[in-house]
Structure 1
Amino acid sequence: MHRRRRRSFAAAVALVVLLLAAVVTAVTADTGATTATPVIVATVCGNATAAADRQEGFDVSFVNALELIYQNVTRSGYGAASSGDGDAVYGLGQCMAYLSPTDCQLCYAQSRVKLPHCLPSTSGRIYLDGCFLRYDSHNFTAVATDAADTAACSSNLTVNSPNFAAAASALLRNVTAAAPGATGYYYAAASASAALRRARGSPPRVYAAAQCWRSLNASACAACVASAAERVVRRCLPRGAGEGYGLNAGCVVRYSTLPFYLPANVAAGGGGSSTRHIIIVVIASVFSALAVIGIALAWAKLRNTWAKLRNRRNDHHEDMDESSEIIRAFAASHLSFKYEELRKATDDFNQINKLGQGGYGSVYKGVLLDGREIAVKRLFFNTRQWADQFFNEVRLVSQVQHKNLVKLLGCSVEGPESLLVYEYLCNTSLDHYLFDAFKKTALDWERRSEIILGTAEGLSYLHNASEIRIIHRDIKASNILLDERFRPKIADFGLARNFMEDQSHLSTGLAGTFGYMAPEYIVHGQLTEKADIYSYGVLVLEIITGRKNHNSVASSAEGHSLMSLIWKHYNAGTLMELLDPNLREQCTEEEALKVFHVGLLCAQASPNLRPPMWKVVEMLGSRGKELPRPTQPPFINIKGSNAKSNSSGSLSLLSNSDKSPFSLNQLSVSGVQAR
């Protein structure tokens, strides 16, 4: 049955492609125009790859850089951006000057979908018929030529005439000489007659254009187009190719027997509204087909992911049937949103509406047609871990409902990217207030107490009260969102994991954020709910002190991390000195010390000594009840120049049971930043 489903899936995709090809071929025959989908001329992927423990950070930077470029390309046809620090990605995208704004957006959208196929390579570039997109781990924007420069010659267009080669060479010299002097755009285009008449009709014409990227200066542009023109003349014209591209790092030079740089209606001698209508139909067909194929691919990946989870119960036949049922139910459920609806709600993912950057995409504010405000998490399914991330978050969050958990409203799997739709929380995340000297005044004692208790109640529900046991794995201030009354809601379940009934722990790859990760999880990779409790303890201590844990080594005058500083004051009986000054007149000493005490109990080095979350809720709600004495927490210090970041560095841990610190050199962990 499974093989029949796979054959049906493949046949359906093939049918869509064949139908689309038939439509495009018919339009091309009738109008003489090219297809609406931009043609890929060349794709060049680098050989180097990021280290395995840094790949996820590189992917995050990659997605963010391409998104920043998109914002500029849609406005001006050109964009360059960089993202990330230790895992920096630089990108550049540009449309040829002859493209209309609409065609430019279509071309960039196509390049944005195809370029991620180069991952996990740390560099890649793609040349389309009308636009260019590139990324790399170093800043290349001023580079005009490099070793990856190439040429592409058409095998579909041929001209048997020595005069044509001479005319094309002369024309290329003219446009490459003119392009560097074209202020702002470095673009020149022209045409000429081949001067040799055919047996009947007018002489054949040759059309040429040259354009440099706007990041170059005029002299670099001149060198670039000269090099590209020489290459295309040397490789394409001797073969009688009627079309050729010189593809350099900083420019593109092209000649053709087709008037590629002229508007379609001019090139075709008119055509009017009927031609435009047919082209619109083709564009719609292309995007419909992409949407269908995208959904089909997404469902196939979701099936595979679910199959892996179910295989743990060694029930292969039931697995496939249940997987198919889940996919069908998902498609028919109220959770399904149309991509176009969400695109309009976010004003085409306008940068103004961006709320923040998540581990696998960005989050935007949107307003639906019925007036509801939403938060849309934008995921690109071409990243390698997309299926796990997307399905995990949908599957887990749709099964849990609690006042202190962000509510998932739905999702969309259409097109080249997938979207998660959440309720919108107007006060964004806790870190925006807690670590800002001016905004933190909005967090008085009452609100901080409610945030501490509400987060504990949400975690207690995940660990004990929901139908499935869930470990969040990334509890931190940026993943605690605040509603209009500053009530907390736990967000971002992309790293969450659930337990089977017979499991005591999970052995899993390291993921989370330095400063919040439990020591036993860092060292052994064994995950239990005690890891969440440790993260919660660190969060509580951050809330009451107003200090950020993983920045404290660099910012503390005494050179201590927040944990070691709190432990030092605890033993000296001077914890009140660390209380956030904004809270000094708002709470009693007894109230403050109890919160310090609970935070230290949750952050103890030994996981067995940390209280379960239901017990933490009980402690916070009780009055006058004596609490057990905490043991020393682990001291995690990030040394060296990276102390202020959560990127790789030298890490040392020291606790009661380990008086000799050991190091984990170059340990890099997924630093997932929520909205």
Structure 2
Amino acid sequence: MQRRRRTGRAHHHHPLFLQAAAVLAHLLLAAGAGDAGAPAILGTVCGNTRTPNPEAFDVSFVTTLEMIYQNVTRSGFGAAGSGTGNNTVFGLGQCLAYLSSTDCQLCYAQSRVKLPHCLPADGGRIYLDGCFLRYGARNFTADSTDAGDTAVCGSNATGGGAPGFAAAAAELVRNVTATAPGARDYYYASSSAESSGRAARAYAAAQCWRSLNASACAACVASARDRVLRQCLPGAAEGYGLNAGCVVRYSTRPFYLAADAGGGGGGSSTRHIVVIVIASVFSALAVIGIAFVWTKMRSRRDNLHDDMDGSGEIIRAIAASHLSFKYEELRRATDEFNQINKLGQGGYGSVYKGVLPDGREVAVKRLFFNTRQWADQFFNEVKLVSQVQHKNLVKLLGCSVEGPESLLVYEYLCNTSLDHYLFDAFKKNALDWERRFEIVLGTAEGLSYLHNASEIRIIHRDIKASNILLDERFRPKIADFGLARNFLEDQSHLSTGLAGTFGYMAPEYIVHGQLTEKADIYSYGVLVLEIITGRKNHNSVASSAEGLSLMALIWKHYNAGTLMELLDPNLRDQCSEEEALQVFHIGLLCAQASPNLRPPMWKVVEMLSGRAKVLPRPTQPPFIDVKGSNAKSDSSGSTSLLTNSDRSPFSLNQLSVSGVEAR
């Protein structure tokens, strides 16, 4: 039962980058480098019962998946629960043992984006090629089988019909399912013996979720085994048994070799070397192909029939305007992009300090495009930032679009970004109360301009400390508009792929993918609370003696009337209690779970300026049930479903992520 279909908006993109990327992708695929896309979805099962309170259920859903995420990315497995009463959500996620840590994170990220399609059903599960994710209103983590179990069979085009394959595959499936319950992490993989005959070699693996015990695992893989043998063999070259508590798989392909488990590893090293060599050769050819395409495209830039998306028009307009910089000039300004001049690394490129021939200092953002999406980020940033001017927005000076790579040129800000000061024990001394309040107010004014006062209505989508730059007087300027989106006058929201930074993304955006300015307001609220406490939202679980997240700590002290205990010690005696509590209060108002209760940014500016005398009482923020290893049980409704070996403080990377958007 799908609740919605996500749609994206068309963006301008350079035909050169698209054709070059297509050449590269084609050559790498021809070389056997494999599909670099998202893992395939094997099956999705959504419940038939609707949750009675979708909004509250959504908040618990996101909290639970956040808790799971922190453990899956660390150990490949996570199980948790949060919420109370009808709004309780349990969840379980696991990667199969043959996935690398990176592939596990990518697989989980894909499942996390797709599983909300089951909402508002009170339960759902999704099986991807390499990982599993499930949520429900009851604790299902001990279930080994249920009515949703199924089998998925591949085609018989290759290998499945070869003489002897069915018998070899069936024997192998029985072997791995008999061994898995007693193996480490309930995982076992193996392959059939080499054959001098015509039979294709078979590969198989079985794994149970780590929430089961050995007897439940044995029952699960036995059930999945019987279903696969009955429904997929003898004809199919590949088959999956997808149960509530396990997965069983066989194939003609050595899908599990990266795990180095069981048998079947013979020849894998040679195969990988061959693939790498071939991929390298074809990558070199791809570079030549890209250069050829670049030359041809430059000679035909003025042909409108080769520019159906309008990006050529943008390029010509940029080249003829004051925004245009010569590539060689910027390359020399940065000393050929010397690492000494590197200011930072973002999700879409690196930033370097440069000095122009006239002595001006600039920041040069260097972007390498190998996908359509990255090309979109460049044109999106040029279009949006060149149309907005505000004292609290970083000024775009221009760009280069005629060299081998595209570059953005911004004003240089000597004090880099807020996170370099705020979360450094020594540097944060430079951020006294006056400067921090100016950063809070200036960021609010910049966002208010983007949301309401500029000619186009813009949502930034990635407000966080590293995207707030500081000038020589520590005045804030919002930077990095690569993920920003603009609204038409009659639009209430955008349906878009997931993009931003976990920990700063609003719950309704994560669950529904519907983007409004309320998502920026939530991110701003988190940022304000970080500024006044001097603590990272992500790292606060590990550093808290109570094992609580920053949100949970602030909410607990707010209810107890002891918020001043969380004020950054560096700010003591620099401000009055009234001033500090006002900023705490405004941060909580912006970070409320319900988007309708968050004040618009123009109202936030009023509150900070003292023009709003009475502030409403904030409601509970989301994600306050996320706990670490030091957490003690209480009545909050948060449930830990992890074994002792899985417990450890959470630590999240503050990475910007961008989901694939439908076109």
TM-score category of the 2 structures, normalised to the smaller one: 0.5 to 0.7
Q: Quick one: which of 363, 385, 391 aligns to 2:351?
A: 363
Q: Quick one: which of 652, 655, 659 aligns to 1:671?
A: 655
Cross-structure match for 2:578? 590
**Cα distance in structure 1, aligned partners of 2:583 and 2:410:** 31
How far has the Cα of 1:416 moved from its partner? 2.8
Aligned: 1:46 with 2:30: no
| Distance of aligned partners of 1:537 and 1:289 in 2 relative to their CA distance in 1, 3 Å threshold | same
Cross-structure match for 1:502? 490
**Higher-RCO chain (CA-CA 8 Å, sequence separation at least 6):** 2
Cross-structure match for 2:405? 417
How far has the Cα of 1:602 moved from its partner? 0.5
**Cα distance in structure 2, aligned partners of 1:470 and 1:537:** 18
Q: Quick one: which of 613, 623, 637 aligns to 1:635?
A: 623
**Cα distance in structure 2, aligned partners of 1:489 and 1:561:** 28
**Cα distance in structure 1, aligned partners of 2:612 and 2:442:** 21
Cross-structure match for 1:438? 426
Matched AA of 2:537: N
CA contact (8 A) 1:353 1:366 kept: yes
Cross-structure match for 1:264? none
Which secondary structure state, in structure 2, belongs to the residue aligned with residue 635 of structure 1? coil
| Distance of aligned partners of 1:583 and 1:639 in 2 relative to their CA distance in 1, 3 Å threshold | closer
Which secondary structure state, in structure 1, belongs to the residue aligned with residue 406 of structure 2? strand
How far has the Cα of 1:296 moved from its partner? 7.0
How far has the Cα of 1:330 moved from its partner? 2.0
CA contact (8 A) 1:430 1:481 kept: yes
CA contact (8 A) 1:412 1:420 kept: yes
Cross-structure match for 1:178? none
**Cα distance in structure 2, aligned partners of 1:669 and 1:592:** 29
| Distance of aligned partners of 1:373 and 1:291 in 2 relative to their CA distance in 1, 3 Å threshold | farther
Cross-structure match for 1:81? none
Matched AA of 1:337: F
Cross-structure match for 2:465? 477
Cross-structure match for 1:390? 378
CA contact (8 A) 2:345 2:351 kept: yes
How far has the Cα of 1:247 moved from its partner? 8.0
CA contact (8 A) 2:502 2:655 kept: yes
| Distance of aligned partners of 1:299 and 1:552 in 2 relative to their CA distance in 1, 3 Å threshold | farther
Per-residue CA deviations over 1:48-96 (Å, capped at 9, x if unaligned) read 536469xxxxxxxxxxxxxxxxxxxxxxxxxxxxxx984799xxxxxxx
CA contact (8 A) 2:315 2:401 kept: no
Per-residue CA deviations over 1:160-207 (Å, capped at 9, x if unaligned) read xxxxxxxxxxxxxxxxxxxxxxxxxxxxxxxxxxxxxxxxxxxxxxxx
After TM superposition, the structure 1 = structure 2 runs for residues 169-318 of structure 1, keeping only pairs within 5 Å, are: 292-293=295-296, 307=309
Aligned: 1:532 with 2:516: no
**Cα distance in structure 2, aligned partners of 1:495 and 1:562:** 26
Cross-structure match for 1:614? 602
Which secondary structure state, in structure 2, belongs to the residue aligned with residue 492 of structure 1? coil
CA contact (8 A) 1:456 1:616 kept: yes
Per-residue CA deviations over 1:313-355 (Å, capped at 9, x if unaligned) read xxxxxxx6xx664443222111111110110000000000001
Q: Quick one: which of 352, 360, 366 aligns to 1:372?
A: 360
Matched AA of 1:571: N
| Distance of aligned partners of 1:669 and 1:296 in 2 relative to their CA distance in 1, 3 Å threshold | farther
Aligned: 1:558 with 2:546: yes
CA contact (8 A) 1:294 1:414 kept: no
| Distance of aligned partners of 1:52 and 1:530 in 2 relative to their CA distance in 1, 3 Å threshold | farther
| Distance of aligned partners of 1:620 and 1:661 in 2 relative to their CA distance in 1, 3 Å threshold | farther
CA contact (8 A) 2:548 2:628 kept: no
CA contact (8 A) 1:295 1:415 kept: no
CA contact (8 A) 1:298 1:387 kept: no
Which secondary structure state, in structure 2, belongs to the residue aligned with residue 541 of structure 1? helix
| Distance of aligned partners of 1:335 and 1:588 in 2 relative to their CA distance in 1, 3 Å threshold | same
Cross-structure match for 1:457? 445
| Distance of aligned partners of 1:503 and 1:623 in 2 relative to their CA distance in 1, 3 Å threshold | closer
Cross-structure match for 1:513? 501
Q: Quick one: which of 548, 560, 564 aligns to 2:536?
A: 548
CA contact (8 A) 1:292 1:414 kept: no
Gaps of 5+ in 1: 1-8, 14-39, 54-83, 90-226, 229-245, 252-284, 308-319, 644-653
Matched AA of 1:442: A
**Cα distance in structure 2, aligned partners of 1:535 and 1:670:** 13
| Distance of aligned partners of 1:592 and 1:623 in 2 relative to their CA distance in 1, 3 Å threshold | farther
Matched AA of 1:339: Y
Q: Quick one: which of 468, 479, 493 aligns to 1:491?
A: 479
Cross-structure match for 2:556? 568
| Distance of aligned partners of 1:288 and 1:87 in 2 relative to their CA distance in 1, 3 Å threshold | closer
CA contact (8 A) 1:298 1:413 kept: no
CA contact (8 A) 2:502 2:656 kept: no
Aligned: 1:337 with 2:321: no
CA contact (8 A) 1:292 1:415 kept: no
Matched AA of 1:360: Y
Cross-structure match for 1:577? 565
| Distance of aligned partners of 1:41 and 1:450 in 2 relative to their CA distance in 1, 3 Å threshold | closer
Which secondary structure state, in structure 1, belongs to the residue aligned with residue 535 of structure 2? coil
Cross-structure match for 1:177? none
After TM superposition, the structure 1 = structure 2 runs for residues 12-27 of structure 1, keeping only pairs within 5 Å, are: none
Q: How many residues align?
A: 392
Which secondary structure state, in structure 1, belongs to the residue aligned with residue 387 of structure 2? coil
Which secondary structure state, in structure 1, belongs to the residue aligned with residue 345 of structure 2? strand
Cross-structure match for 2:108? none
TM-score (norm 2): 0.53
How far has the Cα of 1:302 moved from its partner? 13
**Cα distance in structure 1, aligned partners of 2:376 and 2:302:** 12
**Cα distance in structure 2, aligned partners of 1:296 and 1:585:** 66
Matched AA of 2:363: A
Which secondary structure state, in structure 2, belongs to the residue aligned with residue 470 of structure 1? strand
Matched AA of 1:672: S
**Cα distance in structure 1, aligned partners of 2:380 and 2:505:** 21
Matched AA of 2:470: L
How far has the Cα of 1:625 moved from its partner? 1.3
**Cα distance in structure 2, aligned partners of 1:50 and 1:670:** 23
How far has the Cα of 1:564 moved from its partner? 1.0
Aligned: 1:523 with 2:511: yes
How far has the Cα of 1:637 moved from its partner? 5.9
Query: Once superposed, what is the RMSD of the aligned Cα atoms?
Result: 4.3
How far has the Cα of 1:299 moved from its partner? 9.4
CA contact (8 A) 2:541 2:628 kept: no
How far has the Cα of 1:517 moved from its partner? 0.6
TM-score (norm 1): 0.52
CA contact (8 A) 1:345 1:369 kept: yes
**Cα distance in structure 2, aligned partners of 1:531 and 1:407:** 23
Which secondary structure state, in structure 1, belongs to the residue aligned with residue 505 of structure 2? coil
Which secondary structure state, in structure 2, belongs to the residue aligned with residue 515 of structure 1? coil
